[in-house]
């Protein structure tokens, strides 16, 4: 365990000590080389081998001084997790010695075997070659554990033919697309100082902690990340005493070490607290450039696991590890900023006269409405299906929360009404070069909204806790880029900018305000109201993923050069296959646990009760309670066996399906229903079998013992 004395080692000294950040590069690199790297990061220059050679030498010396013997191109394939192949720095000299080498060529490009990573048909199985390319926008870092220190270089991953095989490539392309279109709008508004627009993200990460002793006794947690059996104990979360409650000493020690490890990596972990469910917690960083934020969040998830194990615990990132209590999300706080220091979603003091804010906010509203199905698909996973629409998560209906004041302002513009909000009067004036600020808190927060405006950013609350945030942000970037491109087309042709700006906002918001909803997203009334408004309500993952094949979406991604048709189709098949495989594993674990643990345990217990009943009858001439209990357990065990047999049959039929979509639909509609039937019998048995006879730890241990 990491023991840090923050008096002897201040956080400011510790922070970023394992990150090859821009600050460190400024210190380690010659001035000209550092300027070249900044230009490359800004997209103003191509990276040359000469520059890479200087950076590689500095990076190598720094890493070796920190104890590193190996380096790896760290990338994010379509598995949703990270991958790495380690190479040592050593190079034999021919006389029995070695020198430590790391070239610019090795920094820029790697060649991992791509044959075992998902490709969705982009390449044949025998085509093994793939390439990793250094992402200069995200800092290299050191991974340290008991086995040693490794230099990790964030990279993009492509096939031999240039197809994107990862989540980083389309993310970077989407950021370029959004930068291009946002700059067109800003230039039309008279901004002459900004050169680039970038997206920022701050992902709030929720997770559970369980004692590793109990975790190791649950095959379902070990193999699937969630419990496929189990009842909530007499006390769950209904007392509302865990949220923001005092943090237990064991958990606090874990959080302390977690912070240290993240701070060393330059990850600004700032907020930590107890979440709603027992043994559920949250960690939130300061927002950063999206590509760095995506990498950082992957490291947060990895570090949660490794640090938890050092403290005798296991971190659960599944969206719904325990039925009956809150699940876990990952609130994606997304915003737009310029390189000259402007947050484009900062309202300021006068919403009606702030053309920039109103234009960009309108673009988001239109993007969310027009591409609601695309955004829904970005969070479509088997784990998130258990969470969305439950009492702690937004529904599957994509809507935007603006709050009363902003909604009124936009409604007034769309309806052509003069005046300000809250009963004030006066004409609406949309400035072009003079853009006054708006109030900072023009909206409350709405926990039930999938997409909420929260002051100077939008919070995409549908993202699942186990997901990479790369895909949701990629889709969001592309959707908004498209709307901004249409706005820019109109602005660049306008003879009267003021009138054109007002017309754009009026037309865009007027047509798409149906997606704005400030009420309770959990209510049945909202489901009916959303249907009346024509908003889609796609519950299942297979149905949600269908949009990736639509001509509109394929054209959208090709237009902005983010993904080709082949790359889109590959992702569709990969995500469907992953969905089916995950449920297949869960069903298989359920069958095994039923067959090899639950059924033998309850059968033995029922037999023991029957023997006791016979003994009691011989003594007291009555044994009715024991006989009834033994019979009830035997009956339920028989029903469990029958439902298990049905599940096996349905599972077999799912695995014989002809295509990926048909298979996923069978898993969604039939396999999950059969699993629910098995679970209902097993959970009923858990309630009446003696605790000591039950074959694995129950929710009481998992949720309350740390």
118 or 585, which is more confident: 585
Q: What is the pLDDT of residue 426?
A: 38
Q: Does residue 682 register a pLDDT over 70? A: yes
The predicted model gives 424-436 an average pLDDT of 41
Q: Does residue 7 register a pLDDT over 70? A: no
Beta bridge partners of 153: 73
Percent of the chain with pLDDT over 70: 90
Nearest to 34 by CA among 49, 24, 44, 46: 24
Q: What is the pLDDT of residue 421?
A: 46
Q: Which tens digits make up the pLDDT trace of 448-466?
A: 789 999 888 999 999 999 9
CB 360 within 8 A of CB 185: yes
Q: Does residue 399 register a pLDDT over 90? A: yes
Beta bridge partners of 288: 201
Query: Which residues, at least 6 apart from 524, have a Cβ–Cβ distance to it below 8 Å?
Result: none
Q: Find the Cα–Cα–Cα–Cα dihedral 218, 219, 225, 230, rounded to 10°.
A: -50
Q: Does residue 353 register a pLDDT over 70? A: no
Q: What is the pLDDT of residue 550?
A: 97
Give me Rg for the CA atoms of the chain. 28
The mean pLDDT value of the chain amounts to: 89
**H-helix or E-strand containing 69?**
strand 68-74
Beta strands at 148-159 and 68-74: parallel, antiparallel or unpaired: parallel
Show the beta-strand stretches assigned E in 411-554. 438, 451-453, 458-460
The predicted model gives 469-495 an average pLDDT of 97
Q: Does residue 681 register a pLDDT over 50? A: yes
pLDDT band at 436 (very low <50, low <70, confident <90, very high): very low
Alpha carbon distance 487, 445 (integer Å): 28
Supply the pTM of this predicted model: 0.93
Q: What is the pLDDT of residue 267?
A: 95
Q: 339-345, long-range: CB within 8 Å, 24+ apart, which pairs?
A: 339/42, 339/194, 339/195, 339/196, 339/197, 339/198, 340/191, 340/193, 340/194, 340/195, 342/191, 342/194, 343/456, 343/457, 344/182, 344/197, 345/453, 345/456, 345/457, 345/458
Q: Which tens digits make up the pLDDT trace of 562-583?
A: 999 999 999 999 999 999 999 9
Kindly write down the DSSP assignment for every residue of 475-505, as one continuous string.
HHHHHHHHHHHHHHHHHHH-SSHHHHHHHHH
Q: Does residue 619 register a pLDDT over 80? A: no
Give the 3-state secondary structure of residue 538. coil
CB 667 within 8 A of CB 580: yes
Q: What is the pLDDT of residue 347?
A: 80
pLDDT band at 388 (very low <50, low <70, confident <90, very high): confident
Q: Which tens digits make up the pLDDT trace of 361-373?
A: 999 999 999 999 9
Burial class (CB in 10 A: 0-12, 13-18, 19+), 595: middle
Maximum C-alpha span of the chain:
103
Q: Structure tokens of 643?
A: 């439902």
Alpha carbon distance 289, 337 (integer Å): 9
Q: Which tens digits make up the pLDDT trace of 154-178?
A: 999 988 788 898 999 999 999 999 9
């Amino acid at each position: 365990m990491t023991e840090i004395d923050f008096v002897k080692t201040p956080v400011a000294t510790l922070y970023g000590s394992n990150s090859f950040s821009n600050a460190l590069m400024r210190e380690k690199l010659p001035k000209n080389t550092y300027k070249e790297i900044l230009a490359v990061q800004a997209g103003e220059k191509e990276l040359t081998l000469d520059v890479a050679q200087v950076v590689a030498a500095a990076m190598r010396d720094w890493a070796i001084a920190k104890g590193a013997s190996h380096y790896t191109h760290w990338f994010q394939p379509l598995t949703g997790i990270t991958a790495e192949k380690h190479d040592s720095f050593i190079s034999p000299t021919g006389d029995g010695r070695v020198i430590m080498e790391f070239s610019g060529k090795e920094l820029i490009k790697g060649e991992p075997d791509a044959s075992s990573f998902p490709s969705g048909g982009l390449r044949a199985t025998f085509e093994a070659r793939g390439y990793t390319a250094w992402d200069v926008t995200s800092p290299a870092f050191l991974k340290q554990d008991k086995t040693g220190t490794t230099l990790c270089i964030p990279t993009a991953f492509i096939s031999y033919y240039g197809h994107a095989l990862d989540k980083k490539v389309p993310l970077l392309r989407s950021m370029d697309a959004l930068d291009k279109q946002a700059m067109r709008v800003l230039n039309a508004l008279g901004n002459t100082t900004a050169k680039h627009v970038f997206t920022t993200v701050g992902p709030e990460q929720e997770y559970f902690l369980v004692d590793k002793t109990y975790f190791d006794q649950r095959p379902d947690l070990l193999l699937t990340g969630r419990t496929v059996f189990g009842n909530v104990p007499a006390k769950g979360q209904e007392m509302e005493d865990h949220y923001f409650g005092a943090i237990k000493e064991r958990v606090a020690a874990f959080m302390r070490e977690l912070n240290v490890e993240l701070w060393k990596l330059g990850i600004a972990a700032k907020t930590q607290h107890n979440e709603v469910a027992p043994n559920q917690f949250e960690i939130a960083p300061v927002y950063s450039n999206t590509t760095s934020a995506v990498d950082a969040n992957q490291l947060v998830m990895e570090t949660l696991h490794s640090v938890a194990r050092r403290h005798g615990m296991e971190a659960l990132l599944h969206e719904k590890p325990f039925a009956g209590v809150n699940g876990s999300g990952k609130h994606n706080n997304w915003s737009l900023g310029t390189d000259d220091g402007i947050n484009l979603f900062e309202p300021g003091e006068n919403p009606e006269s702030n053309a920039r804010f109103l234009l960009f906010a309108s673009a988001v509203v239109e993007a969310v409405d027009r591409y609601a199905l695309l955004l829904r698909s970005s969070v479509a996973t088997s784990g998130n299906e258990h969470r969305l629409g439950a009492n702690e998560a937004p529904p599957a209906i994509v809507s935007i929360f603006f709050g009363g004041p902003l909604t009124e302002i936009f409604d007034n513009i769309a309806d052509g009404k003069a005046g300000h909000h809250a009963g004030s009067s006066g004409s609406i004036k949309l400035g072009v070069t003079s853009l006054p600020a708006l109030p900072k808190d023009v909206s409350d927060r709405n926990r039930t909204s999938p997409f909420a405006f929260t002051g100077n950013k939008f919070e995409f609350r549908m993202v699942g806790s186990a997901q990479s945030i790369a895909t949701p942000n990629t889709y969001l970037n592309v959707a908004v880029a498209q709307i901004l491109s249409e706005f820019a087309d109109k602005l660049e042709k306008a003879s009267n900018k003021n009138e054109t700006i007002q017309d754009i906002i009026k037309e865009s918001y007027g047509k798409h305000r149906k997606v704005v909803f400030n009420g309770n997203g959990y209510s049945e009334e909202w489901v009916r109201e959303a249907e009346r408004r024509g908003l889609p309500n796609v519950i299942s993952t297979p149905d949600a993923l269908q949009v990736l094949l639509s001509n509109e979406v394929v054209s959208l991604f090709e237009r902005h050069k983010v993904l080709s048709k082949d790359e889109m189709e590959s992702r569709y098949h990969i995500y469907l296959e992953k969905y089916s495989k995950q449920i297949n594993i869960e069903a298989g674990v359920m069958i095994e646990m039923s067959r090899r643990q639950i059924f033998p345990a309850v059968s033995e217990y029922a037999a023991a009760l029957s023997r006791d009943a016979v003994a009691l009858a011989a003594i007291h001439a009555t044994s009715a309670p024991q006989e009834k209990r033994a019979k009830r357990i035997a009956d339920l065990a028989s029903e469990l066996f029958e439902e298990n047999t049905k599940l096996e049959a349905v599972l077999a039929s799912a695995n014989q399906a002809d295509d990926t979509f048909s298979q996923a639909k069978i898993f969604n509609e039939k396999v999950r229903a059969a699993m629910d039937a098995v679970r209902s019998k097993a959970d009923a048995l858990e309630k009446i079998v003696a605790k000591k006879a039950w074959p694995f730890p129950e929710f009481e241990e998992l949720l309350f013992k740390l």
